[in-house]
Chain A
Amino acid sequence: GQQVMQIPQYQHVQEGEDFTTYCNSSTTLSNIQWYKQRPGGHPVFLIQLVKSGEVKKQKRLTFQFGEAKKNSSLHITATQTTDVGTYFCAGSTGADMRFGAGTRLTVKP
């Protein structure tokens, strides 16, 4: 069945440094979504990517969907302490959606 792999599992950065998390699927995806879960909170939807090679930006966050629609990345430029949390990708094939393991980001002030 479909598997969604996400790396790294943890990332600790100094405030102001950049951060990237990567998501890879064993199968071609119809779309990929990204969620953020703050410590002690629940996942919150960030964005959805649908098209091959799509790139979307939200302020300091840049989301990419690979040309083959099997991989995606989330890049944060100049991290801030408010970026702390776990970032999950969720890949879909039709109605079947699978979450990646998540990347836990900590930011040192």
Chain B
Amino acid sequence: SAVISQKPSRDICQRGTSLTIQCQVDSQVTMMFWYRQQPGQSLTLIATANQGSEATYESGFVIDKFPISRPNLTFSTLTVSNMSPEDSSIYLCSVDQGQSSSGANVLTFGAGSRLTVL
């Protein structure tokens, strides 16, 4: 399965600032996914990043708050803009491992970026 490098692994940020998280995959992948995991909570899909087109955002997430870049098939970035303490979470990128026989995505996750907003 793909190996994902995600950075930063953690950061402490000030309210009102923005932070960009990078995700590098060791192989070309069509879709990359960005998830948020709030402390002690489940995983919520923020958006799906496709190379060559705009990201597709899930309900409750907007491009102005979480702009995403996907310049090529091995790299993506997620920016958390104008941060507030409510944005304190772990942000995870993931890719489809391609093991599914039913069309669903079987995911490999990066190690995550733990953001604390003061």
Contact = CB atoms under 8 A, between A and B. Distances in A.
Interface of A: 30-31, 33, 35, 41-45, 48, 50, 88, 92, 94-95, 97, 99-102, 104
A101 to B, nearest CB: 5
B62 interface: no
Given A31-B100, A45-B97, A48-B100, A99 B42 contact: yes
Nearest to A35: B107
Given A42-B109, A43-B109, A45-B97, A92 B102 contact: yes
5 contacts: A33-B106, A35-B107, A48-B102, A88-B43, A99-B43
A88 B102 contact: no
A31 B99 CA distance: 13
B111 interface: yes
B32 interface: no
* B contact patch SS: loop
Contacts of A33: 104, 106-107
A42 B94 CA distance: 10
Given A48-B106, A50-B102, A95-B104, A42 B92 contact: yes
Contacts of A101: 41-42
A24 B93 CA distance: 26
Contacts of A102: 41-42
A97 B40 CA distance: 20
B81 interface: no
B51 interface: no
Nearest to B111: A42
Interface string B98-118: 011111111111111000000
